Structure 1
Amino acid sequence: MRISKKSTLLLGVATAMLLATSGCSGGLLAADEAGSEETGTVKLAMVVPISGSSAPTGEYMANAAQLAVDEINEAGGVLDGRQLELLVEDEACDAQQGVASANKAVSAGAVVSVGGYCSGATLPQLPIFEEANVPMIIPAANSQDLVNQGLKNVFLVNGTGNQQSTAALEYMLKTGVASVALVDDNDSYSADITAETARLIEEDGTVTLALGTSVTPGESDYSAAVRDIMNAAPELVYWTGYYQEGGLIINQLRNSGFEGDIMVADGSVDGSISEIAGAGAEGVLATMTQTPDTLEGGGDWIASYEEAFGSAPGPFSLQSYDAVRVAAHAIDEAGSTDGDAIIAALEAIDGFEMFSGPLTFTADHTLSNGGFIILSIQDGAFALEDDLS
């Protein structure tokens, strides 16, 4: 998901912090030693936003991961009886916080990472976990920059940004949209989706790109962008940033008299967008991978989550639950907590059942089918609009 524009700088910061940590007592060397132990709990790192505006999503993810851990432990654990332990650390959707938390998890002996929400906080964690030879099974962050690093230890169990753009255009073509305005928040996650969508639109030639524009996240007044959209008069606006800004833009568009369709990307699929946008949120579309509410026959799983945590699951909870299950499967198949053995086991997965369907990783460690569906806000909540099948 969210990612800083200066990816190279972030990776440099991460590497510097990694080297500093590895020179300290209890750093990477200690983590390697802990990861090689053949007794005790098997530790999984879950670095997600626990503070900041995306904290509600981080809570969904951590809870769902813990639910999977508890179920696996109750069934006997991994490696002939060893229990899993989930180490939840805060990324706060912040690059430096993400690096610090990744270092902390490695030092504590995590052997697999099953976290990652904001891509801007996840990308600089890559060299930390790579150096420690810790496989990363990323359940939410999906910027193409994560894939483009070409790291052997990085696996995505959420559809990529490129797959999301394809789904967006597919829906536009299916419903006969003639013109679209693409609006991003000028960071790489969001800008990548708009750039890829624009490329696909140009390549296809059916839909007209009426406008492409960017806004600055964290502001309260987006009247300049709204004015440009109104002047361009598109039939559909596709917002690819996050729900905080998306809710404001939707509200200001509707108050300005925009009557066309509005679509948002997966970073805006959060119940809070309706609270921010008000009545204007009704009917807003979204490109998203599977959510608990759209899971066919998912009532039992939702009930288990609610019983455990006293509240309903939210976005990226299914993917986080599956990330833990995939990690446990790979550890058992590897027969050890050795990073290379787990990576080989992940690459060898062929048809492992997840909520999104049978899992087999592509050569670049992504899903062969992104699994994106179209949701719409109905009575203030996201519901299935189109499964694109």
Structure 2
Amino acid sequence: MRSHLKLAMPLAVAALALGACGTTGGSSSTPAAGGSGGASSAAACDLKIGMFGALTGPNANLGIYIQNGVNLALDDYNAKHPDCKVALANYDSQGDPTQAPALAKNAIDDKKVVGIVGPAFSGESKAADPLFNEAGLVTITPSATNPALADNGWKTFFRALGNDSTQGPAAAKYIKDTLKSSKPFVIDDASEYGKGLADIVRQDLGSAVVGNDTIQQKQTDFGATVTKVTSSGADAVFFGGYSPEAAPMIKQLRDAGWKGTFVVADGVKDQSYLDNAGDAAEGTIITCPCVPADVAPEFQAAYKKKFNEDPNTYSGEGYDSATILLNGIGAGKTRETMVDWVKSYDEKGVTKQLKFDDKGESADVKVFAYKVESGKIVSAGEIK
């Protein structure tokens, strides 16, 4: 997960990522980024893409998973363009929305940056994206899922996955139909992401919800919440939030004797949850609009060869987001023309068909369930 880049990427994935970009956007005259006649124009050389998200701090794992995918896409592109390489500019937000505006300004001021993968979290997206929109710097988030982000009229906003308006109902459906829960309890962490998602789950579960609670990020003592859950008779708990709070929460619930099913979402699909919750994590259900690693075997093999582990949460989405931008650079796009390139993009990626609607939302959306079994997060299939 925290590995540094050492190995070259297999040609199979290189062909997958760059082979068809000459027809992207409907222009047959656009040169293919990786083809023999598709050398980038001089204007497209010496450029950068940005990675905006938590690379340090309590939520760093999710950012690192994305960054690994981005770096894999860069390896692919640069191997095909050795005389015109693209560099990566990292903007480490630590997942803190208060740091986002200054980092966005840094990216905007670097005129070599022609596109951003991220911001990775919904709160920092809300803070940074107005600045990116004003500057005309395109962003493709591989992981920020708050639905309202697409409702601001930002011309530069694109999302390479489904939002919580899809994930929330899917989580509620799983709780009702698969778990057969009759007494669900819903908790959120008051964040832009966690509360937004939990509120959708609350709405979809309706009158079946036997209790609600709100905790705070960085909280460690969940005694009051545990009391509310156990006294309610809840047979399932949904938590909208991140792994640093989910791990001690489930440990304290189990220590109090609660036997129900803990259901969480993509913000908890992180190795740190397993490490910090230990045996208490067993049986946890995780929903995520992210595809299982084995959906794209060639990408899985390339990633595992480089990082000695399978792709993790949003690694594939990070790869796809970066590939869209890199294909644009290969076709001679600049910061000023990249928005239209992304808007009209329609190619198969490693996670899905990469295409966006008029609000920048992914046109191909799926939500999967995962389960913690024997100390590992394993796929439990798509939630239809």
**Does the CA contact (< 8 Å) of 1:291 and 1:317 recur in 2?**
no
2:372 partner letter? I
Aligned twin of 2:168: 165
Aligned twin of 2:33: none
Aligned twin of 1:336: 333
**Does the CA contact (< 8 Å) of 1:159 and 1:372 recur in 2?**
yes
- Matches of 2:364 and 2:250, distance apart in 1: 30
* Percentage of pairs with the same residue: 25
1:221 partner letter? D
Aligned twin of 1:128: 131
Q: Does 1:385 align with 2:383?
A: no
**Does the CA contact (< 8 Å) of 1:291 and 1:314 recur in 2?**
no
SS in 1 for 2:237: strand
**Does the CA contact (< 8 Å) of 1:139 and 1:158 recur in 2?**
yes
2:85 partner letter? Q
**Does the CA contact (< 8 Å) of 2:352 and 2:364 recur in 1?**
no
- Matches of 2:174 and 2:382, distance apart in 1: 10
The residue correspondences of 1:186-225 to structure 2 (distance < 5 A) are 186-202=190-206, 208-225=208-225
**Cα separation, partners in 2 of 1:37 and 1:144, compared to 1, 3 Å:** farther
**Cα separation, partners in 2 of 1:161 and 1:60, compared to 1, 3 Å:** same
1:47 partner letter? F
Alpha-carbon displacement from aligned partner over 1:265-299 (angstroms, at most 9, x marks no partner): 11011111122222111110011133554x2352x
- Matches of 2:191 and 2:302, distance apart in 1: 37
Deviation, 1:39, is: 4.9
- Matches of 1:125 and 1:297, distance apart in 2: 32
SS in 1 for 2:210: strand
Give RMSD over aligned pairs: 2.2
Aligned twin of 1:111: 114
- Matches of 1:87 and 1:292, distance apart in 2: 28
Deviation, 1:57, is: 2.2
2:176 partner letter? L
Q: Does 1:181 align with 2:185?
A: yes
- Matches of 1:291 and 1:253, distance apart in 2: 29
Q: Which has the higher contact order (CA 8 A, sep 6+)?
A: 2
Residue 348 of structure 2: which of 341, 350, 353 is its match? Answer: 353
Q: Does 1:137 align with 2:140?
A: yes
Aligned twin of 1:373: 368
SS in 2 for 1:287: strand
- Matches of 2:242 and 2:172, distance apart in 1: 19
SS in 1 for 2:168: helix
Deviation, 1:360, is: 2.2
The residue correspondences of 1:39-58 to structure 2 (distance < 5 A) are 39-58=44-63
Alpha-carbon displacement from aligned partner over 1:108-128 (angstroms, at most 9, x marks no partner): 221111122222222211122
Deviation, 1:68, is: 0.2
- Matches of 1:330 and 1:179, distance apart in 2: 50
- Matches of 1:65 and 1:284, distance apart in 2: 29
- Matches of 1:288 and 1:331, distance apart in 2: 30
Provide the TM-score with structure 1 as the length reference.
Answer: 0.82
The residue correspondences of 1:231-310 to structure 2 (distance < 5 A) are 231-291=231-291, 293=293, 295-298=294-297, 300-309=298-307
- Matches of 2:136 and 2:369, distance apart in 1: 37
Q: Could you list the runs of 5+ residues in structure 2 that have no partner in the other structure? A: 1-40
- Matches of 1:75 and 1:292, distance apart in 2: 28
Aligned twin of 1:326: 324
Aligned twin of 1:72: 77
SS in 2 for 1:45: strand
Aligned twin of 2:313: 315
Aligned twin of 2:30: none
**Does the CA contact (< 8 Å) of 1:92 and 1:98 recur in 2?**
no
Provide the TM-score with structure 2 as the length reference.
Answer: 0.83
SS in 2 for 1:51: coil
Deviation, 1:332, is: 4.8
Aligned twin of 1:362: 357
Aligned twin of 2:96: 94
**Cα separation, partners in 2 of 1:212 and 1:37, compared to 1, 3 Å:** farther
- Matches of 2:132 and 2:219, distance apart in 1: 34
SS in 2 for 1:38: helix
**Does the CA contact (< 8 Å) of 1:194 and 1:240 recur in 2?**
yes
Q: Could you list the runs of 5+ residues in structure 1 that have no partner in the other structure? A: 1-35
- Matches of 2:148 and 2:186, distance apart in 1: 20
